[in-house]
Structure formats: C-alpha cells, structure tokens
Amino acid sequence: MAKGTPDWTSEVKPHLGKTYRVNHFRAHPGNELYQMANVVGKGVIVGGYLFHYGQTVHHANCNLVVEIDGLLASPPSMADMEDINLSKPFTAPLYLLKYNVINFEYSFGFSHGWTFDYSFVVSIDENHAEGGTYINLYYSVLV
C-alpha cells in the first residue's frame, strides 16, 4: 500500500530557474520618463529595492510606473504612498521604505512573489528637477 500524500491533494509548485539581478543607476534631468528595468519572460519577483533622490527640491510628486504583463500596476505618487501609508510588503508591487522631504530621499521595496507571464517593467516619471534613481531588483525565471 502506498504511503504519503495522494497526488490529487499535493500542491503543484513552479520550478524556479536561476535568480537574476537588475542593478542600474541613472542620474536624470527633470521632466523625464525613464525605464529602469525591463524583465522579459515568465518569472517571479524575488525582492529588491529602488532609491530615488532629488538634488535641489523634493520629488514627492514623482511617479513610479510599474507594469506587469502590460497592465499598469503602479502605486500612486510618492506623496500619495506616504499619505495612505503604503509601507507594508505585499500591498503593492512596490512599498514605501523611506520618505524624507527634508533631504529629498525616497526608497521603496519590491514585494516578493509577484509573478509575470511576459514582462515586468519599472520606470520613473521624474516630473521635477534633476535627480537620481538606483534600482536593485532580483527576479527568477520559471523553467
């Protein structure tokens, strides 16, 4: 007699392939939409962070644009994220880690577990003065 869990009750889990990292810095002028990461294929987000800073003025109204399989999954502006306290993992693809309008520094974490079938794109919509953005995103492809 067979022992163990019957096949019909076992959970099917995808096999994750190698983990990759997008590590990119961009110093950019004001009024620019810039793509920071473009992951193509089928996979899952493992984690990471994004750090954004302004040089002379606050950038709280800048937008982080996140697209999962072409669907806009962006959180609101940085100021809106602070207002609604979007600071817990898994509430959105990005969550707020640091919000400092005095030193013009903002950082965000990537929630792990977000899956994508075709693409995962992260862009920064810089609608103020000069600034810089650093991204460190980890993802795994499904095999």
Residue range 24-40, pLDDT digits in tens: 998 878 788 889 999 99
| pLDDT tier at 136, thresholds 50, 70, 90 | very high
Residue 9: C-alpha distances to residues 4, 5, 6 (Å): 10, 7, 6
Distance CA 114, CA 47 (A): 9
- In DSSP terms, 68 is beta-bridged to 71, 120
Position 130 pLDDT exceeds 90: no
Domain ranges of the chain: 38-131
Backbone angles phi, psi at 9, to 5 degrees: -110, -5
Helices marked H in the chain: 78-83
pTM: 0.81
